[in-house]
């Protein structure tokens, strides 16, 4: 990635400058998205129903802490570490209520508690992360060999697994490596094997949701989820698959995972528009032309990590594709001004939602993570 370092440096400088003031402005918040004035909301506001899925338990709540640890490793400025610590302490309140927690404890505690432990050896952070890992392992369904995704909603979700959970497996791999207890890794691999068999189509596109019979473990059906529809190709899900299977390969050295990551990556490379701007779904209609720059950042960061697993001669196409996406974001969809707290614009949570082209904090996380990879800065989070 040396050839891209020069391109990434001025982008990194813009990020440093913006995040200096954004972090101080929002130091007491857990942001998810910005409002019409460009100001971040606060998922830790206890005047909300904080013990529900859209409050303190909201699945993206760890990414703000992850951003702070990225900045801390880069700048060594203590205020970034302190903001991350304060956020982590707030998240531990979720354990008290328990009911709102879900499979995304990986997203919540990997970039916060695990990174705090890795960087500072905070013993409480290690305990917090192991607590979360045990909760995640407790969602494993042995009949279907999958980790249940969401809690009960208006649908019966007891047999639902989703592609996103491949990234949550990082917490289980870390727990096994940390404690020398193989059961966490075994659960993670069984889930990854199930996803490999039931989510990835022959052409490398992936399903978002697969429903299993929670008693027998048999596959029931796949659902379109946040993409355009059943059989379509939700782009952020493609990113989770590239990145998630690569992570499983890195922690286990099981070559089938890297082969699957390559299959999904090759499909993505065949679908990336010339503009580098990523749609919500690779198979969506031409109009309306909804974008998901968050999915774009996940794909780009995943491609960079995947490429590092290959030989030097094999890497170039994947690295070039990642930089093409990141360049499009930096030049056309990034706000480095003081008008908006978020950097990455034009994100969409799903295709069939009333509101599109919003900001989401984890888009900034994956954009920054990818730029830091190009710069060779920081420890690998996942």
Q: Is the pLDDT of residue 48 over 60?
A: no
- Cβ neighbours for 243, distance < 8 A, ≥ 6 positions apart: 166, 167, 298, 301, 302, 305, 306, 382
Encode pLDDT of 304-341 as tens digits.
999 999 999 999 999 999 999 999 999 999 999 999 99
Q: 224 pLDDT band (50/70/90 cuts)? A: very high
Instruction: Please report the pLDDT score of residue 44 as a whole number.
Output: 87
Within-domain flag for 8: yes
Range of the domain at 119: 2-375
- How confident is the model over 265-295, as pLDDT tens digits? 999 999 999 999 999 999 999 999 999 999 9
* Active site positions, annotated: 104, 164
Residue 185 lies in a domain: yes
User: Confidence band (pLDDT; 50, 70, 90) for 199?
Assistant: very high
- Among 294, 171, 179, smallest CA distance to 244 is for 171
Question: What is the pTM for the complete model shown?
Answer: 0.97
Residue 380 located in a structural domain: no
What is the pLDDT averaged over residues 123-131? 98
Who contacts 331 (Cβ-Cβ below 8 Å, separation ≥6)? none
Q: Closest Cα to residue 288, out of 355, 360, 362?
A: 355
Q: What is the arithmetic mean of pLDDT over 9-23?
A: 98
Residue 50 has pLDDT above 50, yes or no: no
Closest CA to 82 of 41, 116, 39, 108: 116
pLDDT tens for each residue of 1-13? 778 999 999 999 9
Closest CA to 343 of 9, 78, 13: 13
In a domain, 382, yes or no: no
Is 60 part of a structural domain of the chain?
A: yes
308 in a structural domain: yes
H/E element holding 161?
Answer: strand 160-162
What DSSP string runs through 6-68?
HHHHHHHHHHHHHHHHHHHHTTT-----B-TTS-B--TT-TTS-TTSTTTTT-TTTTHHHHHH
What total number of domains does the chain contain? Answer: 1
- Residue 15, exposed/middle/buried by CB under 10 A (0-12, 13-18, 19+)? buried
Taking the C-alpha atoms of residue 351 and residue 291, their distance in angstroms, rounded to an integer, is 9
Whether 292 is in a domain gets the answer yes
Tokens coding 173: 């791999």
User: Is 381 a member of any domain?
Assistant: no
Q: What is the CATH number of the domain that holds 96?
A: 1.50.10.10
């Amino acid at each position: 990635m040396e050839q891209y370092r020069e391109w990434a440096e001025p982008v990194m400088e813009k990020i440093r400058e913006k995040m200096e003031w954004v972090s101080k402005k929002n130091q007491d918040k857990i942001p998810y998205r910005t409002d019409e004035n460009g100001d971040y909301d606060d998922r830790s506001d206890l005047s909300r129903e904080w013990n529900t899925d859209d409050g303190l338990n909201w699945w993206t709540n760890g990414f703000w802490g992850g951003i702070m640890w990225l900045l801390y490793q880069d700048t060594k400025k203590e205020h970034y570490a302190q903001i991350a610590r304060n956020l982590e302490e707030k998240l531990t309140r979720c354990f008290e209520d328990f009911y709102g927690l879900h499979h995304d404890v990986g997203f919540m505690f990997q970039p916060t508690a695990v990174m705090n432990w890795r960087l500072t050896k905070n013993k409480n952070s290690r305990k917090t992360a192991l607590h979360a890992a045990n909760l995640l392992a407790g969602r494993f369904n042995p009949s279907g060999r999958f980790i249940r995704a969401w809690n009960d909603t208006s649908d019966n979700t007891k047999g639902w697994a989703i592609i996103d959970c491949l990234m949550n497996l990082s917490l289980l791999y870390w727990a096994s490596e940390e404690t020398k207890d193989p059961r966490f890794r075994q659960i993670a691999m069984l889930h990854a094997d199930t996803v490999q068999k039931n989510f990835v189509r022959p052409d490398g596109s992936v399903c978002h949701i697969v429903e299993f019979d929670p008693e027998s473990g048999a596959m029931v059906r796949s659902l379109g989820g946040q993409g355009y529809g059943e059989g379509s190709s939700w782009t952020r899900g493609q990113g989770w698959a590239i990145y998630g299977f690569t992570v499983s390969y890195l922690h286990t050295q099981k070559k089938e995972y890297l082969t699957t990551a390559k299959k999904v990556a090759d499909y993505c490379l065949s679908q990336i528009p010339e503009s580098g701007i990523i749609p919500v779904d690779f198979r969506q209609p031409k109009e309306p032309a909804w974008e998901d720059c968050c999915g774009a950042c996940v794909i780009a960061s995943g491609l960079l990590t995947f490429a590092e697993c290959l030989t030097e001669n094999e890497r170039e196409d994947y690295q070039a594709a990642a930089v093409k996406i990141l360049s499009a974001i930096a030049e056309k969809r990034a706000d480095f001004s003081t008008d908006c707290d978020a950097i990455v614009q034009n994100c969409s949570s799903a295709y069939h939602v009333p509101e599109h082209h919003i900001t989401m904090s984890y888009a900034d996380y994956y954009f920054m993570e990818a730029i830091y990879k190009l710069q060779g800065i920081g420890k690998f989070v996942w």
